[in-house]
Amino acid sequence: MAPHLNIVPSMFVLLLLFISASKVQPDAFDVVAKFGAKADGKTDLSKPFLDAWKEACASVTPSTVVIPKGTYLLSKVNLEGPCKAPIEINVQGTIQAPADPSAFKDPNWVRFYSVENFKMFGGGIFDGQGSIAYEKNTCENREFRSKLPVNIRFDFVTNALIQDITSKDSKLFHINVFACKNITLERLKIEAPDESPNTDGIHMGKSEGVNIIASDIKTGDDCISIGDGTKNMVIKEITCGPGHGISIGSLGKFQNEEPVEGIKISNCTITNTSNGARIKTWPGEHGGAVSEIHFEDITMNNVSSPILIDQQYCPWNKCKKNEESKVKLSNISFKNIRGTSALPEAIKFICSGSSPCQNVELADIDIKHNGAEPATSQCLNVKPITIGKLNPIPCSGPVPKTPSATA
């Protein structure tokens, strides 16, 4: 039985939360008017922002931190709970990170930690100013990459609503969601150049009840990446591209990874990406489980690999190529997926030989190759269940002895 996808209950809880909070006029903590912040793009916002947060968090009535319009420099801020009442941040201005990556000694810029009943909104921009970082971020330069900051982190956040916020040019991931419960991200705009490395739009792990809705994501890596321990998640009405598509994984790289289950991705448009709807696991390495993953009603426009299960995921050729993936995949569906593929191999199911994919369903697929060759479908260690009209014909193409690596 599929896990319950709890977008309705979680949204209902959030609605009640903020309706009840609005009955009491929230206290406003303006970082400029009350705490002396300067919107000059030079004066560090860190202390005024943190001071406003601490006072708002200590309030026994609902409160709002306000960042007015203007441009602010922010070196770093760690916003911790728990707070005594529901708390909001109304971000109207543009908040900029230091452009020089050496200003950061750890991967944090703006971090929310252990906060419950939280809302952030206002149309503001978090600008990571990542162009210098992109030039130096290479696969050989791992120590440099380990210190690059995520634009916004949500760690151990419960019952939260993030709306109408832009994340721009993050030096690494734009938004990271870790160990959160019942958090909705809605109408977000995420943008970075298509050549920017490791700039995943939204990455999450060990979280339950995450909803990502009606957002526009343009990055140099996965638009959305779903790590271990993610359960009961809904992604819908996303426009993705450029980037690497919407991905479950990568998984199996580390010990003791928790299962991924109950993910529904629907009504999305993916354009000019290297991948579309993807599940990726490392060969060899460690075990894990992925189940009840459902991609539905998705349009692909010039996507290199529109539908992909890759259990030989091996970026930079640094993996145990001669071993099979130990991650078990089951109960996965791709339904009503249409559009165009940039390469002939529109569907690739490269499953594990030691643990073949189980209950993989293809239904009502219509993907055409943009070139002269017809679209094909490759299958390895899987026998998909097929329903309705299918183009390309399932498993119609040969699987190369060494499948091409995917980004």
Q: If you write DSSP's letter for every residue of 26-52 in order, what string do you get?
A: PEEEETTTTT----EEEEE-HHHHHHH
Q: Which helix (H) or strand (E) holds 181?
A: strand 181-186
pLDDT of residue 19: 41
Tell whether the model's pLDDT for residue 234 goes beyond 70.
yes
Tell whether the model's pLDDT for residue 344 goes beyond 90.
yes
- Summarised one tens digit per residue, pLDDT across range 160-208 is 999 999 999 999 999 999 999 999 999 999 999 999 999 999 999 999 9
d(CA 239, CA 75): 31
pLDDT of residue 264: 98
pLDDT of residue 321: 77
Which structure tokens are listed for 225? 């990446």
Contact assessment for residue 236 and residue 263, using Cβ atoms and an 8 Å cutoff: no
Compute CA distances 273 → 38, 242, 301, 400, whole Å: 40, 5, 8, 22
Tell whether the model's pLDDT for residue 24 goes beyond 50.
no
Tell whether the model's pLDDT for residue 318 goes beyond 90.
no
> What is the average pLDDT across 349-374?
96
pLDDT of residue 282: 94
Query: Hey, is 188 helix, strand or coil?
Result: coil
Compute CA distances 270 → 48, 216, 278, 300, whole Å: 40, 10, 12, 5
Q: For residue 50, count other CB atoms closer than 10 A to its CB.
A: 17
Tell whether the model's pLDDT for residue 3 goes beyond 50.
no
Tell whether the model's pLDDT for residue 20 goes beyond 60.
no
pLDDT of residue 22: 43
Question: What is the DSSP code string of 346-402?
Answer: EEEEE--SSS--EEEEEEEEEEEESSSSPPEEEEES---EEEEEEESPTT-BPPPSS
pLDDT of residue 404: 63
Please tell me which residue, 41 or 397, carries the higher pLDDT value: 41
101-132 b/e (C-beta count within 10 Å ≥ 16 → b): beebeebbbbbbbebbbbbbbbebbbbbbbee
Cα torsion 250, 251, 255, 256 to 10°: value is 130
> What band does 379 get if pLDDT is binned at 50, 70 and 90?
very high
Tell whether the model's pLDDT for residue 117 goes beyond 70.
yes
d(CA 164, CA 59): 25
Q: Which helix (H) or strand (E) holds 133?
A: helix 131-136
Tell whether the model's pLDDT for residue 224 goes beyond 70.
yes
Bridge partners (DSSP) of residue 19 are none
> What band does 138 get if pLDDT is binned at 50, 70 and 90?
confident
Tell whether the model's pLDDT for residue 5 goes beyond 80.
no
Domain ranges of the chain: 222-406
Active site residues: 244
- Summarised one tens digit per residue, pLDDT across range 57-93 is 999 999 999 999 999 999 999 999 999 999 999 999 9
Which structure tokens are listed for 255? 């010990």
pLDDT of residue 146: 82
Which structure tokens are listed for 34? 């009350």
pLDDT of residue 244: 97
pLDDT of residue 26: 65
Tell whether the model's pLDDT for residue 50 goes beyond 50.
yes
Question: What is the DSSP code string of 56-84?
Answer: HHH-SS-EEEEE-SSEEE---EEEE---S
Tell whether the model's pLDDT for residue 2 goes beyond 60.
no
Superfamily for 222-406? Single-stranded right-handed beta-helix, Pectin lyase-like (2.160.20.10)
| For the chain, the helix, strand and coil percentages under 3-state DSSP, each to the nearest 5 | 10, 50, 40
Spatial neighbors of 215 by CB under 8 A, at least 6 apart, are 185, 186, 187, 188, 189, 190, 237, 238, 239
pLDDT of residue 140: 65
> What is the average pLDDT across 226-247?
98
> What is the average pLDDT across 262-273?
98
pLDDT of residue 15: 47
> What band does 10 get if pLDDT is binned at 50, 70 and 90?
low
Average pLDDT along the chain: 92
pLDDT of residue 143: 73
> What is the average pLDDT across 262-266?
98
> What is the average pLDDT across 227-256?
97
Least confident of 131-140, 223-232, 367-376: 131-140
pLDDT of residue 4: 44
pLDDT of residue 139: 65
| pLDDT above 70 coverage of the chain, percent | 92
Bridge partners (DSSP) of residue 168 are 127, 191
Please tell me which residue, 406 or 336, carries the higher pLDDT value: 336
> What is the average pLDDT across 41-47?
98
Tell whether the model's pLDDT for residue 316 goes beyond 90.
no
Strands 246-251 and 275-281: parallel
Please tell me which residue, 315 or 336, carries the higher pLDDT value: 336
Least confident of 15-19, 347-351, 362-366: 15-19
Spatial neighbors of 375 by CB under 8 A, at least 6 apart, are 341, 344, 345, 346, 347, 367, 368, 369, 391, 392
Which structure tokens are listed for 398? 């040969």
pLDDT of residue 303: 98
